[in-house]
Chains A and B, each alone.
Chain A
Amino acid sequence: MTRKQRLVVIGNGMAGARLVEEIVSRPGGEHYEITVLGAEPYGNYNRILLSGVLAGSYCPEHIFLHPLSWYQEHGIRLHAGRAVTAIDWQGHRVQMADGDWESYDRLVIATGSSPYLPPLENLLREDGRLIAGAFTFRTLDDCQALLAYSSQARRAVVIGGGLLGLEAASGLRQRGLEVHLVHRSPHLLNLQLDSVGGAILARLVSEQGVQLHLGKETVAMLGQDRLCGLRFSDGSELACDLCVIATGTTPNIALARAAGLAVKRGIIIDDDLACSVPDIFAIGECAEHRGQTYGLVAPLWEQARILAERLTDSTSRKQYTGSAISTRLKVSGLDLTVMGDKEPAGPDDEVITYAEPTRGIYKKLIIREGRLQGAILLGDLPGSVPAARLVQLFHRGDPLPANRVELLFPCNGKNQQAVSVAELPDDTQICNCNGVSKGAILAAVRAGKRSLKALCDATRAATGCGSCKSQVQELLVLACEGEVVEDPSVHYYVPAIPLTKPELVRVIKERGLRSVSAVFQALANGQEDPTSKAGLASLLKTIWGKDYEDERDARFINDRVHANIQKDGTFSVVPRIYGGVTTPEQLRRIADVAEKYHVPLVKITGGQRIDLVGVRKEQLPAIWKDLGMPSGHAYTKAFRTCKTCLGSDFCRYGLGDSTTLGIKIEKRYQGIEMPHKVKLATAGCPRNCSEATTKDLGAVAIEGGRWEIYVGGAAGSRVRKGDLLCTVNTHEEVLLYMGRFMQYYRENAKYQERSYDFVERIGIEQLRRVLVEDAEGICARLDRDIQAAVEAYVDPWQREAEQPVTPTQFSEALEATPISLGAGN
């Protein structure tokens, strides 16, 4: 075994922590023993969100990206609160403030930058610290000190009208202070905006209650031991009790310079992200690449990604060639995105502008050689092309539409609506910090990330500056509700095969594909996809019935052992109790089994039957045998139950015999595979005690001895009243129409599409046309096919309790024997 490589990272900020995270999540990361030396006394937090902490929209504890425990779990040594004071590159070691040395094989410098302090009179006290009341805004400590002080303050001044200054001013304003912003240039954000944009922004900012002092240069801090005002170069003064200095940053290069590394404004790195001496790399704000230093996170995340790849994969030749930058101002109520150049570079550049100054709208695009070279997008203009789309065009250098107006306003009729995030192409980058596309977000939703947090955790979208959060939320809502989005793969039946269900069914039938592996062989180049297996197995069973070639490995564990897996790996057993009607004898048997096998929990379910919970896999066959009852299929995508109420035999309101009907339904359709679970109920009158109108299928007796049949009801994660399919006269007709609906659903619903989504997608009118009026002439065939499925049904418990499919089907842990020992044992 080769010794692990010692990787030492100086700086536990945005770049350093991201690098480490990238390394440990990659194959090859295990070859490193990682040590992180960070001057700040914390795990890693999201510096960007300090603006949100100041504004009160985040608590400090919510901006941590990695708690200390994360480092432990990943075997990373973190020395938080220990600054590095020297690098000895000949000796491959670094020294810390307390004198200790740390040796490395590879060293990464990610020291970031420090706030630039302008040479103001009376700014620094004798001990070198800032005069009380003056603050910088870079670290969590800065932010907390500022917040503590601001609770006593009334009038705050922010010096600096850049992104940071604007966010600080807005944050303090939201804390209720009187806020002034002093800026040396005559217009705000002069690095990013032209003068027109700057002027419009200035008006919007002052409307938010921030008083602007533009074209004013601060020269002195006033006050003895604490700040009481500022003096400007024109001699005027402004009284205040708090001041935030946001006049830019200086890369932290002292350490590198003292060690003899090449530095200019930043630490010089080449396209390999390597410094001028061996085995040392630099990333983040401290680094200077091709004459450029960056002050935003997207470039440094790109650097971290590339460096991680280079460090973990020795064959990689990936290079960093620089980043084009775009950014969005994080001030609530202000919509500003800027990218690239703000002015044309020469007469050949095209400039396109649209301005409505009174409404605070200003859009300016710079086009060079047919590509977007820069843009200023200020103000929210309903109906215009979203900023995210232009950011994408900018970053990818895509060719632009010849009709330039389409860059700002969608023109042809089809695109008229193409403004909400739903209509954006799938490869649009939604999260510009982490480079997460809409497609990636949708895929995550489909993979089950149904809460915003789960979605953000899984994709990293909105975990940077958070300004795309509302778009991510919008996508989440859309994808969850089954609405049409432009990604074609939402229509694929399974992810691995780019065919919709009807297309796939046709190909499977044409080519006679009877097993899951045959489908992969024929339609996916022989490439197995584990996420597609269970869906294909369900579909093949539906298509081929008895002639399906069953491959057990394609089934979800529940369907391999015919029980529902629980959080601790045990299973639950729910025997079928037709229509919820049982007998003392049956109850006694269940009780005996529960006792004999020490079943931890016996529970009456919401489906009118009894659940034996916490059964070990090995006990399953014996329990089934002893129960002698059929499987209730509470574990699978199939017909589950039919709940009933008392109905006409006993209930004083009963209009129809719902109990007998429910039992008939359940006996006929039990266990038949479906795209998702199907739960039914029958109710003896419109009082609906069995909740039949909110079931996948329900029958409700009405006056005159008739039955209403409802489809697509729901009372689970969604609540939806079912749609009335038809009203019929007899039990037999109820069975007929229900069966017909089930077969149509089996053939046309996507895998895991509940009936409530399916009915909404197809529409009740269409369902009535097809299933009641027989507009397509398929009713007789549907009736035949569901009848065939009824006949093909075999109770899995009866069969496999006697004869397991394989000898180890129900084994929990197989035993193994030690055969040889290594030396030294």
Chain B
Amino acid sequence: MKAPLPPGAVCYNLGHISRIPRGEGRTYRLQDRLIAVFRSRNEELFATQAHCPHQGGPLADGIIGDGKVICPLHAFKFDLRTGAPLGNSCPGLRTYPVSLDAEGNILVTVED
């Protein structure tokens, strides 16, 4: 049995994982919120806020690797697991719990 979601939390089905090519990211719209979901080459999933805290760059368009994302606009780096800024003084990224269901659909939980 899955643990019940905490109050106020919503779980979204983002569709099948194959929509994100290995090693890339995609932006998803969860009702009125945009998030970025990344699928690493070694099949780890990460979900963060969609826009870079620096100047709003689309993070899903960044290059990833070693658990980090490089923003496509000015190459600021962030840790995908924790959202922490790496070598820059931006605020960290908001991250979201993400998992796969038995059919290979991506599930993301958003808590407010």
- By a beta-carbon cutoff of 8 Å, the part of chain A in contact with chain B is 1, 25-27, 30, 73-74, 444, 447-448, 457-458, 517, 527-531, 533-534, 551-557, 560, 565, 567-569, 805-808, 811-825
Contact = CB atoms under 8 A, between A and B. Distances in A.
Given A530-B66, A815-B29, A821 B9 contact: yes
Contacts, number: 143
Given A813-B34, A823-B4, 17 more contacts: A447-B75, A448-B75, A530-B66, A534-B63, A553-B64, A806-B21, A808-B19, A808-B21, A813-B50, A814-B14, A814-B28, A816-B14, A816-B15, A818-B30, A818-B31, A822-B7, A824-B7
A751 B57 CA distance: 24
A569 B6 contact: no
Contact of B85 (A25, A560, A805): A25
Contacts of B12: 816-819
Sort chain B's interface into a size bin: 35 or more
A565 B61 contact: yes
B interface, over-half SS:
loop
B100 interface: no
A565 to B, nearest CB: 5
Interface string B63-99: 1111011101111010100101101110110000000
B23 to A, nearest CB: 3
Contacts of A74: 91
A530 B63 contact: yes
B72 A815 contact: no
Given A553-B41, A554-B63, A27 B91 contact: no
A interface, over-half SS:
loop
Contacts of A557: 61-63, 72
Contacts of A805: 21
A561 to B, nearest CB: 8
Contacts of B64: 530, 553
A431 to B, nearest CB: 16
Contacts of B13: 816-819
B24 A813 contact: no
A812 B27 CA distance: 6
B87 A458 contact: yes
B57 A569 contact: yes
Contacts of B22: 553
A823 B79 contact: no
A360 B27 CA distance: 65
A599 to B, nearest CB: 19
Contacts of B72: 556-557, 565
Given A533-B63, A821-B5, A567 B55 contact: yes
A22 B26 CA distance: 32
Contacts of A457: 89
Given A530-B68, A534-B63, A565-B73, A819 B28 contact: no
Contacts of A569: 56-58, 61
25 contacts: A444-B87, A458-B87, A528-B66, A529-B66, A553-B41, A560-B24, A806-B21, A811-B26, A813-B29, A814-B14, A814-B26, A814-B27, A815-B15, A816-B12, A816-B15, A816-B30, A818-B11, A818-B12, A819-B12, A820-B10, A821-B5, A822-B6, A822-B7, A822-B8, A822-B9
Nearest to A524: B66
A531 to B, nearest CB: 7
Nearest to A814: B28
Given A528-B65, A814-B14, A824-B8, A25 B29 contact: no
A551 to B, nearest CB: 7
B21 A553 contact: yes
A13 B86 CA distance: 25
B15 A823 contact: no
A517 B40 CA distance: 12
Contacts of A823: 4-7
Given A569-B58, A812-B27, A819-B107, A530 B69 contact: yes
B79 to A, nearest CB: 7
B17 to A, nearest CB: 11
A65 to B, nearest CB: 11
Contacts of B15: 814-816
B108 interface: yes
Contacts of A25: 84-85, 89
A527 B6 contact: no
Given A534-B63, A825-B10, A552 B91 contact: no
A1 B5 CA distance: 12
Contacts of A447: 75, 87
Given A813-B34, A816-B108, A27 B79 contact: yes
Contacts of B24: 552-553, 560
Nearest to A26: B84
Contacts of A812: 27
Contacts of A1: 6
Contacts of B9: 821-822
A814 B19 contact: yes
Contacts of B62: 557
A821 B28 contact: no
A554 B13 CA distance: 27
Contacts of A444: 87
A817 B30 CA distance: 7
A354 to B, nearest CB: 41
Contact of A821 (B10, B41, B66, B107): B10
Contacts of B5: 820-823
A819 B106 CA distance: 12
Contact of A530 (B10, B65, B85, B89): B65
Contacts of A528: 40-41, 65-66
Nearest to B101: A819
A567 to B, nearest CB: 7
A555 B73 CA distance: 14
B31 to A, nearest CB: 7
Contact of A822 (B4, B70, B92): B4
